[in-house]
Amino acid sequence: MIVFISYYGYSNREGFKVLLEINKIDLVCFSIFLLLASFFNAAQNAVLIRSLGVPFSDLESFGLSNISALTNLIVPQGVTVTKAVYLKHRHGISYSKFSALFLGLLVIFLLIGALLMTVTNLLAMMQGIEVPIILWGGAFLAGATTLLFFFEVPKEVFTKFGRVGALVENFSDGWNQIRINKACLLKACLLQIAIFISLGLSVTFAYRSVGIDISPVLGVSLAVFIAFSNLIAIVPGNLGIQETVYGYLTFVSGLLFVQGIVISMLMRAVGLAITLMIAPISWYFLFFRHSIRLS
C-alpha cells in the first residue's frame, strides 16, 4: 500500500504542491474542530462508562481515546482493543460488558449519522448543490441497519446463526442497555450530533485551506460518510482506504480525485500531530503509572 501511494504521489506531484500554499487561518480552524470532535467522542464514551456506575471522567476518556488512536495506527481495531484492556484492568469492566455496550453505541452512531446525512443532503439540494448518489445510499443503508435493533427478537432466533447470530445478539444487548437509560441515551445522541458537526466543519475548513470552497452542509455529509467507511478497518489506520474514499467523494462532487487525496493526507497529518502530542502524556498517567500492559 505504501509503495502504491508513493507511486501515485510521484505521478501526481503537481497536484500535491497545493500543500505548500495552505491558508494558515483555515488550517487552525480545521485543527480546532478536529480536536473538538475528538473531545466530544471521548465525552460520549465517558457517558456510557459512567452509566455502569464507574467514576470515569471526560478528561480520562480523552486521554484513553488518544492512546487508542495511536494504537490503531499499528493494529486494526486498535481503538476497541486498547479501551477494552484499560477498562478491564483499571475499572474492572468485563470484556463482554464493554463489547455489548459499545456495540449498542454503534446503533446511535448509524442512526444519528443517517438522519444528519439526510438533512444535510436536503439542505445542500435546496442550495442548488449537487449531492452524489453515494451519499444518499450511505444514509439509506445506515438508517435501514438501525431498524434491526428497535425491535425485541427472541434470543433463541440468534442461536441458529452461529457466530453471526452471537454478534447480532451482542448488538441487541448493547442497544437495550442504552435504550433503557433515557438520560444516557439522550446525552449519547446529542454528543454524536456534536461529533459529526465538528467533523463536518473540520472537513469544510480542510478543503478551504487548500483553496477549495465547499458548503458546510456538504462537509458534514462527507464527514458522516467517511466515518461510516472507517467502520471497516482492513489495514491499520485504514491507510489507503480513507484516501480512496476521500478521492472518490471529491471526484463525484465535481472536483479532482487527487484533491481528495490531498485533503485526506491533511486530515491524517493534523490528526496524527494532535495524537502524538497527547498520547504519550496520557499513556504515562493512565497505563504506565498503573502497570497496565496491552499484552
Spatial CB neighbours of 102, under 8 Å, sequence gap ≥ 6:
45, 48, 80, 83, 174
In a domain, residue 9? The reply is no
Compute the mean pLDDT over every residue in the chain, rounded to the nearest whole number: 82
Strands (E), the chain: none
In a domain, residue 83? The reply is yes
In a domain, residue 16? The reply is no
For the segment 278-295, what is each residue's pLDDT rounded down to a tens digit? Answer: 999 999 999 998 888 876
Instruction: Record the pTM.
Output: 0.83
CA angle (219 as vertex; 217, 222 as ends), nearest 5? 115
Which domain, by its residues, includes 180?
21-284
Residue 40 and residue 191 in contact, taking contact as beta carbons nearer than 8 Å: yes
Q: What DSSP string describes 24-84?
A: HHHHHHHHHHHHHHHHHHHHHHHHHHHTTT----HHHHHHHHHHHHHHHTTSTTHHHHHHH
142-147 LR contacts (CB < 8 Å, sep 24+): 142/110, 142/111, 142/113, 142/114, 142/117, 142/228, 143/110, 143/111, 143/114, 143/115, 143/118, 145/110, 146/107, 146/110, 146/111, 146/114
In a domain, residue 13? The reply is no
In a domain, residue 293? The reply is no
| Residue ranges of the chain whose pLDDT lies below 50 | none
For the segment 265-278, what is each residue's pLDDT rounded down to a tens digit? Answer: 888 889 889 999 99
Total domains, the chain: 1
State residue 238's pLDDT score: 63
In a domain, residue 228? The reply is yes
In a domain, residue 27? The reply is yes
In a domain, residue 11? The reply is no
